[in-house]
Amino acid sequence: MTESYPELNHVSYEPLVKESRVVNLGSFITPTENFYIRNHYLEVPDFSETAWNLEVKGRVNSPLSLSMNDIRALPKKELDITLECAGNSRSYMMPQAEGIQFNHGAVSTGRFMGVSLNTILNLAGLKSTAKEIIFSGGDLGTEEEDGAVFSNTLPYQRSLTLDQVGDENILLAYEMNGYPLTQDHGFPLRLMVPGWYGMASVKWLVSIEAIEHPFNGFFQKNRYVLIPEGAEGTTLGEPITKLAVKALISTPRHGEVIHKGPFTFSGFAWSGWGHITKVEVSVDGGATWGDARLINNQSDTAWSKWEFTWQASKIGHFIVKARAYDSKGNVQPNNVRWNFRGYANNAIQAIAVRVASGRQ
């Protein structure tokens, strides 16, 4: 039975989708009860650990069927990983984009324990003909596309190329924040692909299959592709992969009243393309910018915290913005090009605050 997670905001009931409250994203590691949830289907797998196995098959030299005891016996690896849903900030797309209308809270960072994917692939031994790896979740359901109904037993599947699975930080995780994964976060095993949007991190993992050709599954070709204005179809867009550079303001909340004197704005910044090298903050709607202080900004897999102290000398209403830069030269933009499903919206966030004359 799934938990209720009262600290999260409901975005959808069928399927269950909840986003974090931005004001609760103040700590480097997001507590599990504050970590966003994105399910694709109404029914959530309810596996018994003792009856579950991970199948490793296809173009491998030694097919495997691994129990959780087998997996836990392998060398462990722990990583702090930032996950952001590809649809995060979708509600700010203009005109409104297709899909679940997330605000800015479909992002969180957890501490995940598991085994390196490469450890499993090395045990199985990939054949020379293998080109891609399919990861299948245990969740099944129905999808529609242009009036066509896809099977009600359509599994959630994603693939990675051999070059992509070479990343030593890709993890098969069985613990989150020091405890076994919860049901809604993929118990008993979840693929974790650091630096990519969350669609790549398949929950309720049941099989890994090496294939000889590109994978054309529904969630690989029909979803998670950028479909621009004027496109004739829905499967020919550019696939989304790594996280776009982005900064989030978590303190204060939009509309908050602060008082004259020093006030510290704070939040997080992340990118799947490189380290965060700079965050700038504006308190005048983007007319001028100042450098924020970066904290723990050298992680390959997790966000960086930032802080900016402002001497509020005037009362009134102010628009606050934050923008991030990464080590590959990417800069967070004022606006992003519209796409049909509102994916990868990393446009600069803006909040309004009011400065009052003094504390009561």
Question: What average pLDDT does this structure show over 211-217?
Answer: 96
Smallest Cα–Cα separation from 82: which of 323, 293, 246? Answer: 246
How far is residue 38's CA from residue 194's CA, in Å, rounded to a whole number? Answer: 17
Amino acid 297: pLDDT: 73
Is the pLDDT confidence value at 195 over 70?
Answer: yes
User: What average pLDDT does this structure show over 160-176?
Assistant: 98
Query: Cα separation of 33 and 30, whole Å?
Result: 8
> pLDDT value at position 151?
67
Q: Is the pLDDT of residue 235 over 60?
A: no
Are 157 and 217 in contact, with CB atoms under 8 Å apart? yes
Residue among 167, 157, 168, 113 at smallest CA distance from 135: 157
State yes or no: pLDDT of 131 exceeds 60: yes
Greater confidence (322 vs 13) lies with 322
| Pair 330, 294: CB distance under 8 Å | no
| Rg, the chain, Cα only | 21
Domains and CATH numbers, the chain: 8-239 (3.90.420.10), 246-356 (2.60.40.650)
Kindly tell me if the per-residue pLDDT of 152 is higher than 60: yes
Which two tokens mark 266? Answer: 């704070």
Q: Looking at the DSSP assignment, which residues form a beta bridge with residue 355?
A: 258, 316
Region 6-22: mean pLDDT is 95
Give strand pairing partners of 77.
Answer: 114
Q: Indicate the helix (H) or strand (E) that contains 300.
A: none
Half-sphere CA count of 278, side-chain side, radius 13 A: 11
CA distance 91 to 319: 19
Mean predicted confidence (pLDDT) in 133-141:
96
Percent of the chain scoring above 90 in pLDDT:
88
Q: Are strands 205-211 and 54-58 parallel, antiparallel or unpaired?
A: parallel
Average pLDDT (254-271) is 97
Mean pLDDT of all residues belonging to the chain: 95
DSSP structure string for 184-234:
GGTTT-EEE-TTB-GGGS-SSEEEEEEESS----IIIIISSEE-BTT-S-S
- The pLDDT of residue 197 is above 70: yes
Kindly provide the b/e burial profile for residues 237-272, where b requires at least 16 CB atoms within 10 angstroms of the residue's own CB.
Answer: beebbbbbbbbbbbebeeeeebeeeebebbbbbbbb
* Count of Cβ atoms closer than 10 Å to residue 326 Cβ: 24
Tokens 């970066």, located at residue: 294
pLDDT in tens, 33-48: 999 999 999 999 999 9
pLDDT of res. 106? 99
Cα end-to-end distance, the chain, whole Å: 47
**pLDDT at residue 189, rounded to an integer:** 99
pLDDT tens across 61-111, in order?
A: 999 999 999 999 999 999 999 999 999 999 999 999 999 999 999 999 999
* Cα–Cα distance, 267 to 251 (Å, whole number): 6
Q: Mean pLDDT: which of 27-41, 149-163, 296-310 is highest?
A: 27-41
Give backbone dihedrals phi and psi of 117, rounded to 5 degrees, phi first.
-55, -40
Q: What is the tens place of the pLDDT at every residue in 100-130?
A: 999 999 999 999 999 999 999 999 999 999 9
Token pair recorded at residue 332: 């967070």
CA 219/CA 236 separation, integer angstroms? 13
> Phi and psi for 225 in degrees, rounded to 5?
-130, 150
Distance separating alpha carbons of residues 126 and 217, to the nearest angstrom: 21
Which among 59, 77, 55, 30 has a CA at the least distance from the CA of 213? 59
State the pTM of this model: 0.95
> Using CA atoms, how far apart are residues 47 and 102, in angstroms rounded to an integer?
29
